[in-house]
Structure 1
Amino acid sequence: MSVPAIMRLSAPLLSGLLLFCWLDVAAGRELAADIDDMVEVEVATVAIAGPAGPPVVLLRRPGAQEVIPIFIGPIEAGAILRGLRGDQPRRPMTHELLSDVLDGVEVRLERIYVDAIVDNIFLGMLELRVEGRDNPVRIDSRPSDAIALALFSGATIHVAPQVLDAARRIEYEGLDEQVVTALGVTVISVTDDLRDALELPDRDGVLVSGVSGPAEQAGMEPGALLLEVNDQTPETPMKFLELVRRTPSDKEARLRYWQAGEVHELDLSTDIPTPRPRAEQEEPGIEM
């Protein structure tokens, strides 16, 4: 095919052709851990490793008192935060674009793995389901890119035991003003402008900006004010994460929240809720 002919192809078709060529050659290594040994986690937030250090993404492990920090770059940190917030840039950026390409050629990102750490470098893998193929296709990836794509596509995130052990030694500082997700509930700090615009009560807590899984099924909606977790007030998003982590593994987390003029209570399992692709989620009740 000549260069002018290639240029006449539509962008989605050209992307699809390139993607399928890439799938045939890109799977360059095998998973470094047994899938059955891996632990499913959810993305909690992005923080800083030590004073003025690089960004880390914090992954919450169900039933554990800890979160798992993994080093990432600033561009990937921005993409992960966009995914947590549900931000839609005016034009697709790199991770949004690749997610759109996968959707356009009917390739589904089902899982991502953080399966090894070699010479202090984390290794990741995409697991893609391609129509017409019996077995999934696994593609070597940086974990930061894979995690960002998982947030846009609704893929589950799985971490190998050796990675969990290594990541425990990373020290980090939380960013109290950042967005945090746990139990399928995404929260941000409440500003005076948001309090006035949403007519929230003058009470301490954090603002719910996104909901999925059992919390959504129980009726919690974006725009709710989360007042308590296990009878304690989450003054900041990171405090919300801390209170969730303190929940005993054999108990559910009890949430109290204000919504539409009434206070509700909700018990949620600390297991990882099933994520949904951003494209399938309803429009948020508030603009963040």
Structure 2
Amino acid sequence: MREAEIKALLVDPFNNAPVILLKDRNSSQAMPIWIGESEAMSIAFSLQSNQFPRPLSHDLMKTIIEDLEGSVQRIVISRVEEGTYYASIFLTNAEGETTEIDARPSDSLALALRTGSPIFISDEVFEASAIESPFAEEDEFQDFVESKMNLGQFKRLIG
């Protein structure tokens, strides 16, 4: 099992479909998943910390879970069949019991963004679908900056 993060929300130039890019936290590889437009809009608003005047479906799910004293422990993208990805949302209730709920990856990711829950991908799915991240050099540079100097030093260096 690999922990991942949402690296980017892109548009496939061949068919104008939204694509979410999930990056393995421990490598330079990423996994693209094509998603629907409404889920992409919901994810984009969450990535940009924007809110609609009225709650979207994923905001509603978060509110219901929290009002029932539950929490989203993690989401897992567990398998791919005939090009369709499958995911599970793991919820914990007030008594500490965990329930696994079948969900589309796009809905799972939108909920994980809103709850700050970790995202995992099974090794089998990741290895079958992974590509070299187009952001690998950017990530290496960011890691260098964070590990070798603080922000003040960096500003002095480029200023």
Q: TM-score when scaled to structure 2?
A: 0.83
Q: Tell me the secondary structure at the aligned position of residue 51 of structure 1.
A: coil
Q: Using the alignment, how far apart are the partners of 2:35 and 2:41 within structure 1?
A: 10
Q: Tell me the secondary structure at the aligned position of residue 60 of structure 2.
A: helix
Q: Tell me the secondary structure at the aligned position of residue 110 of structure 2.
A: helix
Can you list the C-alpha shifts for 1:103-124, whole angstroms capped at 9, x where unaligned?
Answer: 1111101100001001110000
Q: Tell me the secondary structure at the aligned position of residue 57 of structure 1.
A: strand
Q: TM-score when scaled to structure 1?
A: 0.48
In structure 1, what residue type is equivalent to 2:9?
V
1:67 corresponds to which of 13, 23, 30: 30
Unaligned runs of 5+ in 2: 155-159
Unaligned runs of 5+ in 1: 1-37, 173-237, 256-262, 267-288
Q: Using the alignment, how far apart are the partners of 2:145 and 2:94 within structure 1?
A: 42
Q: Using the alignment, how far apart are the partners of 2:143 and 2:54 within structure 1?
A: 40
Can you list the C-alpha shifts for 1:6-57, whole angstroms capped at 9, x where unaligned?
Answer: xxxxxxxxxxxxxxxxxxxxxxxxxxxxxxxx10011111112342342111
Q: Using the alignment, how far apart are the partners of 1:75 and 1:42 within structure 2?
A: 20
Q: Using the alignment, how far apart are the partners of 1:106 and 1:74 within structure 2?
A: 31
Q: Counterpart in 2 of 1:264? A: 152
The structure in which a higher percent of residues are helix is 2
Runs of 4+ in 1 over 4 A off after TM superposition: none
Name which one, 1 or 2, has greater alpha-carbon Rg: 1
**Correspondence 1:128-207 to 2 at 5 A:** 128-133=91-96, 135-168=97-130
Judge conservation of contact 1:111–1:157 (CA < 8 Å) in 2: yes
Q: CA deviation at 1:64?
A: 1.9
Can you list the C-alpha shifts for 1:224-250, whole angstroms capped at 9, x where unaligned?
Answer: xxxxxxxxxxxxxx8xx44334x29xx
Q: Tell me the secondary structure at the aligned position of residue 162 of structure 1.
A: helix
What is the percent sequence identity of the aligned residues? 26
Q: Using the alignment, how far apart are the partners of 1:98 and 1:107 within structure 2?
A: 11
2:82 corresponds to which of 119, 128, 139: 119
Q: CA deviation at 1:61?
A: 1.1
In structure 1, what residue type is equivalent to 2:145?
R
Aligned pairs, number: 150
Q: CA deviation at 1:264?
A: 1.7
The structure in which a higher percent of residues are strand is 2
